[in-house]
Amino acid sequence: MKFHVVTLFPEVIDAYTNASILGRAQKEKRLEVKTYQLRDFVTNKWGKADERPYGGGPGMVLQAEPFIAAVEKIKKNKKGVKVLITSAGGKELTNAYAKALSKQKEVIILCGRYEGIDVRVKKVLKAEEVSVGPYILTGGEVPALTIIDATARQIPGVLGKFESLEEGRVASHDVYTRPEVLIHKGKKYRVPKVLLSGNHAEMDAWKEKRRSGKGA
């Protein structure tokens, strides 16, 4: 699967996707993430990609032309490439959405900044807006990385084993490792006895209760 990310800050995307699991997935050719500097697609001599909003208001709005030019270059002679725009008002990113997205061969993500992207980009490119949560961030790079990370996990082989995919097994948000007894400022914090029992049925039941918020 291949992601194309159009952004004013490609170094942010590169730093994360070239490290750890995503970096390994790229080396193994299971995933590819390519970044594009939005300013490379502007037509003015100053490399300016934003302008003041019509109708007034604070901040600046990213112009439509460079995004459209970037996408047209990426999609040239290609079919079925999905275009996404990071937006707080977009469709919610869920594991189900990420799993469906992982079936795509190529996906383009457009990262907003400042007051957002000229809405005509969405209309011209028939792009889909995606939100990673009900809050506002300073830019679309973190949401883009969230989309990539959540989707990459759904690609066979990226995590190494299917057992590593939490939603495919019984897992709790509460996890423990050695030592069995952690002593801090004279107080002992112990691993629950059930996790030391070796009884997989009881351990799974405990994890299920913890995941549902019913267990102590």
pLDDT at 119: 96
User: What distance lies between CA 73 and its chain's CA centroid?
Assistant: 23
* H or E, element range at 11: helix 10-17
Domain boundary, last residue among 162, 178, 201: 162
Q: Does residue 176 share a domain with residue 157?
A: no
Residue 160 confidence class, pLDDT cut points 50, 70, 90: confident
Tally of structural domains, the chain: 2
7 exposure class (CB count in 10 Å sphere: 0-12, 13-18, 19+): buried
State phi, psi for 104 to the nearest 5 degrees.
-75, 145
Residue 170 confidence class, pLDDT cut points 50, 70, 90: low
pLDDT at 165: 64
Residue 216 has pLDDT above 60, yes or no: no
Q: Does residue 141 share a domain with residue 49?
A: yes
Residue with tokens 């990459």: 152
Range of the domain at 181: 170-212
Residue 87 has pLDDT above 60, yes or no: yes
pTM above 0.85, yes or no: yes
Q: Are 111 and 141 in contact (CB under 8 A)?
A: yes
Q: Does residue 208 share a domain with residue 154?
A: no
Residue 57 has pLDDT above 90, yes or no: no
Compute the average pLDDT of residues 125-137. Answer: 95
